[in-house]
Structure 1
């Protein structure tokens, strides 16, 4: 089974469309959360996942929208949540509110979380990857760091597909991965998209200029 794996879309419709167009034929598509936040198109990105019935877990930005909470001290994140709260209709908001913390898929072979399998909101960077993160599943998929990486162990695979909408590994291209669930192998992908257009739209929407600048730098 070929599984397309995405995460951290962050309301970047232009990047999401580029990823979906570039992705090879897959049997399934999964999303490790943070569909909303930061960028100008939260409603369209929610609809893209909702209408495709993509198994998706709740990221921390999704949770802030779902609970009408906010990020203290982070003006970029706070502005993105406020923008999403204003943009989503009742159906879209309900979809976000009903996202689970984790999903177990494909007869228990794949576990999908946003951050860390045991500690909510913990950033699990590549240097923290280890077989100890795995439970009974063959593959643990997580996001949150916006850093693309995977490791294959005797016990299974730990995979972060990177961020579709706001990479932070100094590569501004949108990131995703394709998992072969039969061979437990992973192909990491990067996709060019019109980053300048998104940066311009960020400013046009009244979102922080720093949000636009980090897209251009991949940080």
Structure 2
């Protein structure tokens, strides 16, 4: 799977999935210089040995993709706004996701200000990634995953979760336990801060 995230005069950001030898799948983002028709870049991680990705630019929105795990060369486009049945289309996803993350960022700023008893607290929001540092309690990361039209949560308390937007509930749901993103944040952050919080005041909390 390959997804062009953004394309400019000189830079191209690409998201793609890689399979490890252990059978796990990881999402990777590459930023490439558009200095020619073909560029070769590499992705590394602790679980994945170096893999080279060869990108041949066709036009602003399409590329040819050649990856060692794929024997043939395939063409992908980044323009599609269509959705599978029951899923958000691209315009809906962008709107709901942006509203959710911006609302959470504003609320977490207030939460951090009220955590003077916890050393090392901080919150940042950059390029679709919301990072909340809670000192000795660890770091929460909430970020958009446009190719999947999801929001991903990395929690030091309960681990990683992937949330889909459920329209009839008006919130982001983790389908393995049917709990919402705001529900898990309400439970975990309240325990950590020992303050009275209400994440359900945030956008797209379902309430």
**TM-score, normalising length: structure 1:** 0.29
Structure (1/2) with the larger helix percentage: 1
**TM-score, normalising length: structure 2:** 0.30
Structure (1/2) with the larger strand percentage: 2
